[in-house]
């Protein structure tokens, strides 16, 4: 029996073995191919439900089985599993790409009578047609071939871009003595010493990887050393790098990538790649994004200028640095931060035990969103993983569209894997195990299930007993963030799989529910109930919280401007910019417009801008700021309605649940936002949360 072939239940994570992967995926892909041929046949009806019953049921099975393999590959990696994963990956990718551009299927979808669809199905249908167009399904002949060739070449180019960025970072080393590293923390020194030892050298080996580069720039008293490191870092993957490293120059790749993207956009009938990118996003046009960024820049600039003036003054009066150079700013910033906001992260951690934090998190969710969270049991991949079920608080009147849920109070379930361990990928994420779906094959309602994954340090052993894990405040924020994604996926009331939960939600709106939840971690009335000192049981002292709060917005003006600089550069590069023109000239122009600091003329930061040249953020980097505006403004509704002790209002919670979380991708994010807020998003709340309130005034955002 191959556990990956079972359908209907949750993945048997304790039974899936590497040698199940190849045969199961091959069989499921074969089934899906047969399903595609069935529905694409001339005599098959152009009917939403008929197609779903055959094709969606088959593709969902591929998706869930592959999802389980992918998940295990991320959280319980072994050489055998990795090999099995990599062997099947190209087949899975090939299938989805082919499905997405199948002309026969596209014709079938186009022929569906929209009047026969309900609202959710109409939205899913609209998205499907859009994705076919963006996948090149409308192209014919030479254009179709050219489109496919561009896709292939772009994949190669982004892969090469990342390899160059990685190699340019990894191949650099600098050997220094411990005297050169005066000021650098002990744990960093230990690592650099070990690195030198491993290379059979004396002293310390420095690298450009962040865990080494950053502390050197923050703490090394030796300005000459910081200058060397800064120059190496800022010229990576460029023609400004030292001779031996110029083989990693990304400049030519960047020009080719931009040119191909522009050509791709034109083939599909768009004026620019920016327009193509926004076709599936919440922002309506490149100009709307550019205006949004310029507006935010204008408001943030006085605060950024003030941050810089503070640094200058502190550098002159306290550090004796009269004319700070580019490699001095991080160092000055760290010293100023210590002098103003010193508190110990170590001390804060003692108040955040994982069970207490989870208890507090569950309590807010239960109160605001009218549900109960209970422990549940299923097969898992590691004994440290927990599983929970979310139930509806009371079997209230069924909301419309809630067909099929009669007789059950189960809303959804989630796995929680919080601990870092070997074989587990770093970082934190939410992933869907399955989406809510009124199944067309058996008429049953499939409830949503999610993975919540973090990488917190394990609790220490004391007298042979594992103690509760202690979380930093950053960890707590991360947990809330991922839980926000999870709630978006789990509390949906949509019955169409393609638009239920996080499915079908615009890319630039996806972070709304996650960043929204982070706000509670800065709310004293909420936070204090999640704290208990690991030894004394005492709650977090208010004075300590005030120090954390004061440090929260340190240099937020400059940080905001930096994000805007990346975002504006990205959007302009993919719209007005001619791909054959100099990219650096555009970057300079953007910097002059929004930045408060001028980098040296040899700086080449665009050459390692992997988000945009090698990742999925092309003409989409603004999404970070965009979603932050949405989440801050949504959270402001809770600030406006909180009771006198600061506790969030239950009715506002219900409204947020009904308008945003429950709606998922079933309607445009702007409609959901307006249904919740009664108006379009405004910048004010974000500026206020980040300590830039004075410059704020009401203004709409398109
Ligand atoms: Zn997120």
CATH code at position 112: 1.10.1370.40
CA of 474 to the centre of ligand 1 (A): 14
Is residue 124 located within the same domain as residue 186?
no
Q: How far is the CA of 477 from the centre of ligand 1 (A)?
A: 11
**SS3 category, 663:** coil
Examine the domain organization and report whether 50 and 185 are in the same domain.
no
Confidence at residue 371, expressed as pLDDT on a 0 to 100 scale: 94
Question: Taking phi first (over 0 means left), then psi (-120 to 50 degrees means alpha), and beta for anything else, what does residue 126 get?
Answer: alpha
Q: Give distance in angstroms: CA of 255 to centre of ligand 1.
A: 30
In a domain, 74, yes or no: yes
Same domain, 208 and 140: no
pLDDT, residue 697, reads: 40
Judgement on whether residues 178 and 141 belong to the same structural domain of the protein: no
Does residue 663 lie within any of the structural domains?
no
**CA 640–ligand 1 middle distance (angstroms):** 25
**How close is the Cα of 674 to the center of ligand 1, in Å?**
22
Instruction: Look at residues 132, 149, 167 and tell me which one is the last residue of a structural domain.
Output: 167
Q: How far apart are CA 475 and CA 453, in angstroms?
A: 12
The residues, any chain, with a CB within 8 Å of residue 236's CB and separated by 6 or more, are: 165, 168, 169, 172, 208, 245, 248, 604, 607, 608
Q: How far is the CA of 511 from the centre of ligand 1 (A)?
A: 5
State the distance from the centre of ligand 1 to the C-alpha of 481, rounded, in angstroms: 6
Structure tokens at 247: 């083989």
**Cα–Cα distance for residue pair 386/383, rounded to 1 Å:** 8
The rounded Å distance from CA 284 to ligand 1 centre is 22
User: What is the three-class DSSP state of 59?
Assistant: helix
Residue tagged 């992967």 (tokens) = 21
DSSP state of 138: T
> Do 142 and 196 fall into the same domain?
no
Tell whether 482 and 403 lie within a shared domain.
yes
Are residue 163 and residue 191 in the same domain, yes or no? no
Q: Is residue 655 part of a domain?
A: no
| Boundaries of domain holding 502 | 354-539
- Classify residue 115 as exposed, middle or buried by CB count within 10 Å of its CB (0-12, 13-18, 19+): exposed
In a domain, 411, yes or no: yes
Residue 240, domain member (yes or no) = yes
Ligand 1 center to 494 CA (angstroms):
21
Residue 630 CA to ligand 1 center (angstroms) comes to 14
Q: Are residues 162 and 177 in the same domain?
A: no
Q: What is the spatial distance between Cα 298 and Cα 596, in angstroms, rounded to a whole number?
A: 12
Residues 32 and 28: their CA atoms lie apart, in Å, by 6
Contact by Cβ (8 Å): 130, 506:
no
Among 482, 506, 511, 518, the one annotated catalytic: 482
CA of 482 to the centre of ligand 1 (A): 6
Q: Residues 360, 485: one domain? A: yes
Spatial contact of 206 and 176, defined as CB atoms under 8 Å apart: yes
Please check whether residues 24 and 155 belong to one and the same domain. yes
Report how far residue 661's alpha carbon sits from residue 501's, in angstroms, rounded to the nearest whole number: 7
Give residue 406 CA to ligand 1 midpoint distance, Å. Answer: 33
Any domain includes 430: yes
Number of compact structural domains in the chain: 3
Those residues of the chain that have pLDDT short of 50 are 396-408, 695-702
Q: Is residue 622 part of a domain?
A: no
Distance 516 CA to ligand 1 centre (A): 10
Q: How far is the CA of 368 from the centre of ligand 1 (A)?
A: 21
Query: Are 175 and 154 in the same domain?
Result: no
Q: What spacing in Å lies between the alpha carbon of 483 and ligand 1's midpoint?
A: 9
Q: What's the 463 CA to ligand 1 centre distance in angstroms?
A: 38
Q: Taking a C-beta distance cutoff of 8 angstroms, is the pair 495, 445 a contact?
A: yes
Residue 507 Cα to chain centre, angstroms: 10
Claim to verify: residue 521 and residue 447 sit in the same structural domain: yes
Burial class (CB in 10 A: 0-12, 13-18, 19+), 148: middle
Query: Does the residue 375 lie in any domain?
Result: yes
* 559-595 residues labelled b (16+ CB within 10 A) or e (exposed): bbbbbbbbbbbbbbbbbebebeeebbebbbebbebbb
Q: Last residue of some domain: 190, 213, 248? A: 248
Q: Which residues contact 74 (CB under 8 A, 6 or more apart)?
A: 424, 425, 453
Distance between CA 95 and CA 107 in Å, rounded? 18
407, 391 Cβ separation under 8 angstroms = no
Picking from 217, 248, 279, the residue at the C-terminal end of a domain is: 248
256 is catalytic: no
The Å distance, Cα 593 to ligand 1 centre, comes to 29
Distance (angstroms) between ligand 1 centre and the Cα of 581 equals: 35
């Amino acid at each position: 029996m191959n556990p990956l072939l079972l359908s209907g239940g949750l993945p048997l994570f304790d039974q899936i073995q590497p040698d199940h992967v190849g045969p199961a995926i091959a069989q499921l892909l074969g089934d899906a191919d047969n399903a595609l041929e069935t529905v694409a046949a001339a005599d098959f009806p152009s009917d939403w439900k008929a197609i779903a019953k055959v094709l969606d049921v088959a593709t969902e099975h591929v998706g869930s089985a592959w999802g389980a393999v992918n998940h295990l590959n991320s959280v319980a990696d072994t050489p055998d599993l990795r090999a099995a994963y990599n062997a099947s990956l190209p087949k899975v990718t090939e299938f989805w790409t082919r499905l997405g551009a199948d002309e026969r299927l596209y014709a079938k979808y186009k022929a569906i009578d929209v009047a026969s669809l309900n609202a959710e199905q109409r939205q899913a249908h609209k998205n499907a047609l859009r994705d076919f167009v963006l996948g090149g399904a409308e192209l014919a002949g030479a254009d179709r071939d050219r489109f496919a060739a561009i896709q292939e070449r772009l994949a190669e180019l982004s892969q090469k871009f990342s390899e160059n960025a990685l190699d340019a970072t990894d191949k650099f080393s600098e050997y220094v003595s411990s005297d050169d590293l005066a000021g650098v923390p002990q744990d960093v020194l230990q690592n650099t010493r070990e690195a030198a030892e491993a290379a059979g050298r004396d002293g310390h080996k420095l690298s450009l990887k962040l865990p080494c580069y950053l502390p050197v720039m923050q703490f090394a008293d030796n300005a000459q050393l910081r200058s060397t490191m800064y120059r190496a870092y800022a010229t990576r993957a460029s023609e400004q790098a030292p001779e031996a490293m110029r083989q990693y120059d990304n400049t030519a790749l960047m020009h080719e990538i931009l040119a191909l993207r522009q050509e791709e956009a034109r083939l599909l009938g768009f004026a620019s790649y920016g327009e193509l990118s926004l076709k599936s996003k919440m922002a309506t046009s490149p100009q709307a994004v550019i205006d949004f960024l310029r507006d935010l820049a204008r408001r943030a600039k006085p605060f950024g200028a003030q941050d810089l003036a503070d640094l200058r003054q502190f550098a002159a009066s306290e550090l004796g640095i009269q004319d700070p150079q580019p490699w001095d700013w991080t160092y000055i910033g760290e010293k100023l931060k210590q002098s103003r906001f010193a508190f110990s992260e170590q001390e804060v951690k003692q108040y955040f035990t994982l069970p207490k934090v989870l208890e507090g998190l569950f309590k807010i969710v239960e109160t605001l969103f009218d549900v109960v969270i209970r422990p549940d049991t299923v097969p898992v991949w590691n004994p440290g993983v927990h599983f929970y079920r979310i139930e509806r608080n009371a079997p209230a009147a069924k909301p419309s569209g809630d067909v099929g849920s009669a007789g059950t109070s189960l809303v959804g379930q989630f796995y929680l894997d919080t601990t870092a361990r070997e074989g587990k990928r770093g970082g934190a994420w939410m992933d869907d195990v399955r989406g809510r779906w009124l199944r067309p094959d058996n008429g049953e309602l499939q409830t949503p299930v999610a993975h919540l994954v973090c990488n917190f340090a394990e609790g220490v052993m004391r007298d042979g007993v594992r103690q509760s894990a202690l979380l930093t405040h950053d960890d707590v924020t991360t947990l809330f963030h991922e839980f926000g994604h999870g709630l978006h996926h789990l509390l949906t009331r949509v019955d169409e799989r393609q638009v239920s939960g996080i499915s079908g939600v615009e890319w630039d709106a996806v972070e709304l529910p996650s960043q929204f939840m982070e706000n509670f971690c800065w709310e004293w009335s909420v936070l204090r109930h999640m704290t208990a000192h690991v030894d004394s049981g005492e709650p977090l002292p208010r004075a300590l919280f005030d120090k954390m709060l004061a440090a929260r917005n340190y240099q937020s003006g400059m940080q905001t401007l930096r994000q805007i600089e990346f975002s504006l550069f990205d959007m302009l590069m993919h719209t007005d910019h001619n791909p054959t023109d100099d990219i650096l000239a555009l970057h300079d122009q953007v910097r002059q417009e929004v930045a408060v600091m001028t980098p040296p003329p040899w700086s080449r930061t665009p050459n390692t801008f992997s988000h945009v040249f090698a990742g999925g953020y092309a003409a989409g980097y603004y999404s970070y700021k965009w979603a932050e505006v949405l989440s801050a403004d949504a959270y402001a509704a809770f600030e406006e309605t909180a009771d006198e002790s600061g506790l969030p209002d239950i009715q506002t919670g219900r409204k947020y649940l009904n308008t945003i979380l429950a709606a998922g991708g079933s309607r445009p994010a702007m409609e959901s936002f307006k249904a919740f807020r009664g108006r379009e998003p405004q910048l004010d709340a974000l500026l206020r949360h980040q300590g830039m309130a004075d410059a704020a005034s009401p203004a709409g955002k398109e």
